[in-house]
Amino acid sequence: MSQLSAELLLRQKVVGLGQEKDKAWVDVEAQATGRTKRMEAHYIIVCDGANSTVNCLLSGDMNFPGKTWDEHIVAKNMRAKAYYDFYMSGYSNANLQIQPENRHMASRITGEIVDVGELYDCLVGRYEHNADDSIFVLFDDVRRKKYQEFVDPVSAATLNRIFSVEPEKALDQDEFFQLCKRAEIDSEFAQQFAKVCGLTSL
């Protein structure tokens, strides 16, 4: 890199935020000192995950958009090679285990990569004056539509499958598993099924 373009600050907690017509800001508390300072920018990009402090500040703790599941769900990020070699135990890139006691899904990172790549293209376009601020509205509209029409229904169906299907009757009760079983013996159908699932191949 020919010039400094980014600074990484660790152990910084967002405690407030706001915006005006030409700028936005976050109030950040340094965990090492307890001191708070304000950081301003033209745009603020939030990527702090499911327990998003920024989203809670924007929406309120009890007004966060989405669904609250009755079932108990534990999500854990793991580095496959650093903590446990899943491949050595027979896991592939996407796995759904329907067992009496240890039901779970183990999958490599998915849609987040798309989010980063597409938003990067929008930011570069804005920075190089090939687009105006409306590019971010378009990004939000398209990404939200894809989430509502595809990502959320598929994810919800997968969670329902984990919680509701009886292990010993999985093939009889669940059409998705029946299609997976058919794909094992029918190569032409397997390719069609892969395209519907958004995969390059099975």
Range in 13-22, 44-53, 152-161, 165-174 with the lowest mean pLDDT? 44-53
Separation CA 140–CA 130 (nearest Å)? 18
**Residue 45: pLDDT band with limits 50, 70, 90:** confident
Task: Please say whether the beta carbons of 163 and 103 come within 8 A.
Answer: yes
Q: Is the pLDDT of residue 50 over 50?
A: yes
3-state secondary structure 85-141: CHHHHCCCCEEEECCCCCCEEEECCCHHHHHHHHHHHHHHHHHCCCCCCHHHHHHHH
Amino acid at 102: N
Backbone angles phi, psi at 103, to 5 degrees: -70, 135
User: Which residues, other chains included, contact 125 with Cβ-Cβ below 8 Å and sequence gap of 6+?
Assistant: 131, 135
Q: Is the pLDDT of residue 112 over 60?
A: yes
Q: Which two tokens stand for residue 84?
A: 């446990």
**Residue 107: pLDDT band with limits 50, 70, 90:** confident
Give me the chain's average pLDDT, please. Answer: 83
**Residue 1: pLDDT band with limits 50, 70, 90:** very low
Amino acid 2: pLDDT: 56
Amino acid at 145: K
92-125 CB burial, b ≥16 within 10 A, e <16: eeeebebeeeeeeebeeeeeeeeeeeebeebbee
Separation CA 90–CA 86 (nearest Å)? 7
Mean pLDDT for 86-103 is 80
Query: Would you list the domain boundaries of the chain?
Result: 9-65, 69-164
Total-model pTM: 0.71
Backbone angles phi, psi at 107, to 5 degrees: -140, 150
